[in-house]
Copies of this chain bind each other. A is one copy, B any other.
């Protein structure tokens, strides 16, 4: 981030025709984007959405309300434009890039980029979800996706995910990296009942013990390898790549926030590039956001994923940029300042 541009943006906000600070978060967003984009005129016009999909062997343990088939069915729905994120992308005028980062699909889905090391992860209740090479592949798949999105122009990138079972993987990662009980970070996902949520927590606690992930200071890569998801690893890789390419990232809900936690543990210098879009209803999200010292923009009781909450926050960034660039100053508009 450019401290010079941050300071210039702060100075500008203080001479625009409004009481200083009165645009609150919209001021802070414009200042943050000016620093990240190293510009006097921050923008969020070009905001491609990159959605990574993956399947999870742990669904064999009955941890999701929906069958695993739905992941691949949804790939078709994304490509056909009927899914929530596809509608949001159209309405916002941004491109949606869908990546099969590890679903069970045996075929390429038209309109979806296939970039996966294997079909689904292994069941982490029995064995590591992926090998070291598969983890490395998935991290690089995230980087490749950011490079494709960037080729079409990107002031910011929006990251989303889809994968039946991925709240289980995300909760396992969070429980290990944050040293909290699984019960503190599991939620209903797509719609488990209370017994299902308890079962999910038990599966996670057992797996963390099996893989030795309750020790202190287990490396993030080890956690991702043992209980991660291919789409979650791709998300982490995408965040690191975006930060290295100086593109701010708009982070979605629980899963993407857990990927952010992983990315920050793998490469702490990516942290300033991550903008948290919303607080979801998924129970563990608050714990993860707190650990990241994140203050999300929206709180709309969303729990869909796909990048939907991040997409819903994009207009705030756009409005913040417009206000920053287009408002008159007190001097230009001949308006009196505060009385002394």
Contact = CB atoms under 8 A, between A and B. Distances in A.
A155 B39 CA distance: 37
A70 interface: yes
Contact of A315 (B24, B315, B333): B315
B82 A322 contact: no
Interface stretch (A71-79, A107-115, A131-139, A197-205): A71-79
B303 A333 contact: no
Contacts of A316: 300, 312, 315
Given A191-B19, A319-B88, A336 B26 contact: no
B333 A26 contact: no
Contacts of A25: 300-302
A327 B82 contact: yes
Contact of A302 (B24, B299, B300): B24
A111 to B, nearest CB: 14
A91 B19 contact: no
Interface residues of A, number: 62
Interface in A123-178: none
A256 B180 CA distance: 44
Nearest to A302: B24
A215 B116 CA distance: 72
Nearest to A298: B298
A218 interface: no
Interface stretch (A4-12, A61-69, A244-252, A266-274): A61-69
Contact of A333 (B23, B82, B281): B82
Contacts of A16: 84
